[in-house]
């Protein structure tokens, strides 16, 4: 199928118009990207200079005293009381189990054993397997967070732009 000269000229003219439009769109998109980058930078500056100090001041003024009081109550009252209750409960449980096993064995109740001091437990030295596993998992999590931050913050402005931005797609 052959085209007439008139149609060929019209198609060439249309191709030139499309190329011109494509070039102007590429320039406009480039300018929009630079404006968006600058807006993001200015927003970050505004957050650091205006919002963060206000939030910190309001936290220090209103919330910090109550948070500190709560931490103090938990650390000085709740945790020691819970530890004492749990320790007492475990002692009673152990004594009951010991007595039950003595009665089941037909040996009766040994009052001397109830007042004897238990032998001291050996002191562990070094870190166990659980500690090493926790360290490895913590390092892996930190590496994952750093990699995600790097992927987010790296400059990939060219990812969405064509390789040859001034060349129009073939019609």
For residues 110 and 102, is the Cβ–Cβ distance under 8 A?
yes
Residue 170 lies in a domain: no
Residue 146 lies in a domain: no
- Structural domain span for residue 40: 5-115
Q: Give me the torsion for CA of 28, 29, 32, 38, rounded to 10°.
A: -120
Find how far residue 110's CA is from the centre of its chain.
Answer: 56
Residue 108 lies in a domain: yes
Residue 171 lies in a domain: no
Total number of domains constituting the chain: 1
Helix (H) or strand (E) holding 68: helix 64-73
Residue 98 lies in a domain: yes
CA gap 131, 124 in Å, rounded:
13
pLDDT for residue 93: 86
Tens-level pLDDT at each residue, the chain (171 residues): 688 899 999 999 999 999 999 999 999 999 999 999 999 999 999 999 999 999 899 888 888 888 888 888 888 888 888 888 888 888 888 888 887 787 777 666 666 666 677 777 877 777 778 888 888 898 999 998 888 887 777 766 555 555 555 665 565
pLDDT for residue 76: 87
Residue 40 lies in a domain: yes
Residue 136 lies in a domain: no
pTM higher than the cut 0.75: no
């Amino acid at each position: 199928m052959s085209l007439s000269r008139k149609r060929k000229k019209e198609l060439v003219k249309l191709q030139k118009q499309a190329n011109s439009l494509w070039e102007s769109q590429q320039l406009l998109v480039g300018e929009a990207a630079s404006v968006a980058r600058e807006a993001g930078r200015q927003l970050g500056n505004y957050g650091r200079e205006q919002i963060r100090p206000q939030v910190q001041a309001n936290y220090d003024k209103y919330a910090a005293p109550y948070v500190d009081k709560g931490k103090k109550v938990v650390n000085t009252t709740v945790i020691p009381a819970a530890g004492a209750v749990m320790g007492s409960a475990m002692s009673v449980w152990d004594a009951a189990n010991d007595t039950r096993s003595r009665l089941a064995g037909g040996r009766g109740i040994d009052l001397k054993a109830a007042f004897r001091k238990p032998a001291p437990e050996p002191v562990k030295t070094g870190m166990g397997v659980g500690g090493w596993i926790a360290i490895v998992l913590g390092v892996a999590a930190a590496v994952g967070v750093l990699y995600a931050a790097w992927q987010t913050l790296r400059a990939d402005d060219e990812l969405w732009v064509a390789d040859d931005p001034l060349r129009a797609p073939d019609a």
